[in-house]
Structure 1
Amino acid sequence: MATALKEQKFVEGIRGCSDRIRRLWEESVHGSVPSISMERAVLLTEAYQQYEGTCSIPVMRGKAFYYLMAHRTLYLGRDSLIVGEKGPRPWAAPTFPELCCHTLEDFDTLNSRERVFFKVTDEDKRIQRDVIIPYWKDRAMLAKMNRLLPQRWQKLFAAGMYTEFLQQRGPGHTVADGKIYRKGYGDFLRDIQKQIDSLDFNNDLDALEKREEWEGMTWVCRGMILLGKRYAALARDMAAHEKDPVWRRELLDIAAVCDVVPEHRPQTFRQAIQMYWFTHIGVTTEMNNWDAYSPGKFDQYLEPFYDRDLAEGRLTRDQAKELLEALWIQFNNQPAPPKVGITLKESATYTDFCNINTGALRPDGTCGVSDVSYLILEVMDDMRLLQPSSNVQISQKTPERFLRKALEISRKGWGQRRLSITARLSSRN
């Protein structure tokens, strides 16, 4: 009874900044069941069956990504402000058979364990058995690497002496820089094409390899642009059939945002947030980079958009906070992809370890704390979600008010949600 009362008190403490956010928070925390989605695995298999042997590996990966963006199911839930999921619904985790191919035993483990489970249907198992395993069991990166390792390693692995984290994912702990706020994917596409057009095949011995890498990148850019266009079309189609005038207007607002990003560079605070989130979904759909694809110095990237929107009357502080809290919920809706084998049995978390850096120094050495930094602290305190993880970076130039606010939040705990503080001493000059 005491535990139940404690949990109830904790839940009652979660408020968010609006009724919309409270509804979305409740749905994310209590209304969604973690599950396996086979959609990505099926679409990727179709793409590889279509393109394998017809082009280079970089181009094939680019075309496969475009195929995913063209055919994947889009989810746009009521009250959404920021759109995009890794799966066809919140808390649906895709699998990555090109990296490691789950066994049916893995699926049984995921479905049956009491904690950190993923529900797996009989149809999911059928698809894995009849479609995914026959194609990927010998092609997956994990299988290829295991074939090269000595028998002694195989015995130690089978005995559980060590696990295979680095064999079932791409590079993790990756941090975005600021280029996606200065250019859209249409701009990147044109930049890449200029590089291709300038190749000197007579004098550059690496020209062919460069062309194939860049050609693969063009397909990725096209896929990202298509994702935004598909969301804009979906929002408009939903608006055309919506009877509630408020939600109809909001759907048209979503469509207008997706008309701009990710094809073009963002112009507003909301577009900048959506630009990052489309990029986040693109990166984490193309590759299982557990642990972590993170936005970096998010407050500094968002600050110019925030200041301009406030000055020009397009945004209020409360609206900015609601957009950030909606983004936090999107982070929480994306469980880390399930592992395989021994690592699966050891893994006990849904978090993908995305980390928000706040309050760091600017490139010129001045203090980076802004009102957006304080907003992010408030959002951390309000949301108390499993994801994203958070930290602030402190220097001698950090305002005492910001430090005290960060400490006030950090001392409250909340497990993985606690705020970590990184001190970086710097000159006061």
Structure 2
Amino acid sequence: MSTTVLSPQETRIQEQIENKQAQPAHHTRANDILARVRAQKPHVDVERGLLFTESFRQTEGEPLVLRWAKALYHYAEKATVYVDKDQLIVGRGGGEGRYGLLYPELDGDTLDLAIKKLPTRESSPFDIAPEDAKTIIEDIAPYWKGKTFHEDLAKALGPETMKLTYNPDEALTSRYVVNETASFRSSLQWVHDYEIVLKKGFGGLRAEAQERLAQLDEFSPIDNCEKRPFLEAEILTADAIILWANRHADEAERQAAEEGDPKRAAELQRIAETCRWVPEHPARTFYEAMQSQWFTQLFSRIEQKTGTIISNGRMDQYLYPFYKADKEAGRITADEAQELFECMWVDMAQYIDLYLSDAGGAFNEATPTGRPSPSEARPPKATTRPTS
């Protein structure tokens, strides 16, 4: 007699098919966070797009690398910061729930048309508040007309490729014959050097850039036209993420002062102390290392779109020394370390790549970690996905 053995994932899928509710092996704070966001349709958050547009309006004519750093600083200074209920690892790029960000520098030329389709399209639908749609149409999209990567790419395509890539009767809409992915920023994966941040902190990286800046030859065209803007941008970017982290500390302290539950108030105070230290300084504990890694990862997503995966890299290598030291000193248990990982996983799961085009939505319908998004409130059906 043959016996079918299912993996845990296959078991959950089978239970869902049979309309059974799969129960978690153990209840954690991550379950509570997921329960609040799982059934929500992703929404469009306009802050990143609006703040970058405001900054780019003010910096026209400056070197692009410096304009980008100034836009990041403007975001860090003005954007809403979130310290979510139950969370231990804080920081998000959009409002509560699952969210997508706008990158108008890539495809802002189609923003005013795309937002009308986003809530109802079949692949990767996104909700958008009426006031946010008005902001896109009136404040963001007009500035980027004629300035986007999307338009420059279309102009660079030869006529034979162009007619196979985009519909001639509907500008820059894919024909699914030749499906370009450059404007989706697709790649294999991006792996940041988290270890250098954990060891030096952005304060240390900023100091290194300041030292190199001081060594430039003031009479050298290369030093002044190429190296100086890059180093100034590096310093400004470090200042931006440090400011952003400190604003999270401010918010955690505000919540701690108003919190009626002593246990949560203590957690919020610890969050504030952690965000005051990292990512500006080298991490001293496993908790600080986890928070510093997440700030670095998320701020990179705010900096620019990465259409596939921002990888966590070899977490076992760069995080283990912090875990080992804390474990030996009695500062952390295995269960507490697992809880921090779970908090980071649900942070990652709430960022959803937003693609304005139907082709991008269909081609990349998944979370940024490559795992399927939580199912929408509609029955699944077979689809044929375009291939590049």
When normalised by structure 1's length, the TM-score is 0.77
1:180-329 equivalences under 5 Å are 180-202=197-219, 205-329=222-346
Whether the 8 Å CA contact 1:165–1:343 is kept in 2: the answer is no
Whether 1:57 and 2:64 are equivalent positions in the alignment is yes
Whether 1:92 and 2:104 are equivalent positions in the alignment is no
Whether the 8 Å CA contact 1:192–1:214 is kept in 2: the answer is yes
Whether the 8 Å CA contact 1:85–1:281 is kept in 2: the answer is yes
Residue aligning to 2:76: 69
Letter in 2 for 1:176: H
Whether the 8 Å CA contact 1:62–1:220 is kept in 2: the answer is yes
Letter in 2 for 1:339: Y
Whether the 8 Å CA contact 1:332–1:386 is kept in 2: the answer is no
Alignment partner for residue 185 of structure 2, among 149, 153, 169?
Answer: 169
SS of 2:94 mapped into structure 1 = coil
Letter in 1 for 2:34: W
Q: CA deviation at 1:330?
A: 0.8
Cα distance 1:258–1:345, how it changes in 2: closer, same or farther (>3 A)? closer
Whether the 8 Å CA contact 2:203–2:238 is kept in 1: the answer is yes
Q: How far apart, in 2, do the equivalents of 1:144 and 1:171 lie?
A: 19
Q: How far apart, in 2, do the equivalents of 1:44 and 1:168 lie?
A: 18
Q: How far apart, in 1, do the equivalents of 2:106 and 2:119 lie?
A: 21
SS of 1:273 mapped into structure 2 = helix
1:402-417 equivalences under 5 Å are none
Q: How far apart, in 1, do the equivalents of 2:126 and 2:138 lie?
A: 20
Paired residues, what number?
Answer: 351
Whether 1:130 and 2:138 are equivalent positions in the alignment is yes
SS of 1:163 mapped into structure 2 = coil
Q: How far apart, in 2, do the equivalents of 1:139 and 1:258 lie?
A: 37
Structure 2 unmatched ranges of 5 or more: 1-13, 168-174, 375-388
Q: How far apart, in 2, do the equivalents of 1:83 and 1:335 lie?
A: 17
Whether the 8 Å CA contact 1:170–1:287 is kept in 2: the answer is no
Cα distance 1:172–1:58, how it changes in 2: closer, same or farther (>3 A)? farther
Alignment partner for residue 35 of structure 1, among 9, 31, 43?
Answer: 43
Residue aligning to 1:20: 29
Q: How far apart, in 1, do the equivalents of 2:344 and 2:372 lie?
A: 13
1:148-167 equivalences under 5 Å are 148-159=156-167, 160=175, 161-167=177-183
Q: CA deviation at 1:22?
A: 2.0
Whether the 8 Å CA contact 2:241–2:299 is kept in 1: the answer is yes
Whether the 8 Å CA contact 2:41–2:98 is kept in 1: the answer is yes
> What does the per-residue CA deviation read over 1:48-84, in whole Å, with 9 as the maximum and x for residues that have no partner?
112222x321111100011111111111111111001
SS of 2:298 mapped into structure 1 = helix
Letter in 1 for 2:365: T
SS of 1:174 mapped into structure 2 = strand
> What does the per-residue CA deviation read over 1:145-185, in whole Å, with 9 as the maximum and x for residues that have no partner?
22233333332212412223112437661112321121111
> What does the per-residue CA deviation read over 1:265-322, in whole Å, with 9 as the maximum and x for residues that have no partner?
1111111011110001110111001111112100111110001001111111111111
Q: How far apart, in 1, do the equivalents of 2:130 and 2:34 lie?
A: 30
Letter in 2 for 1:86: G
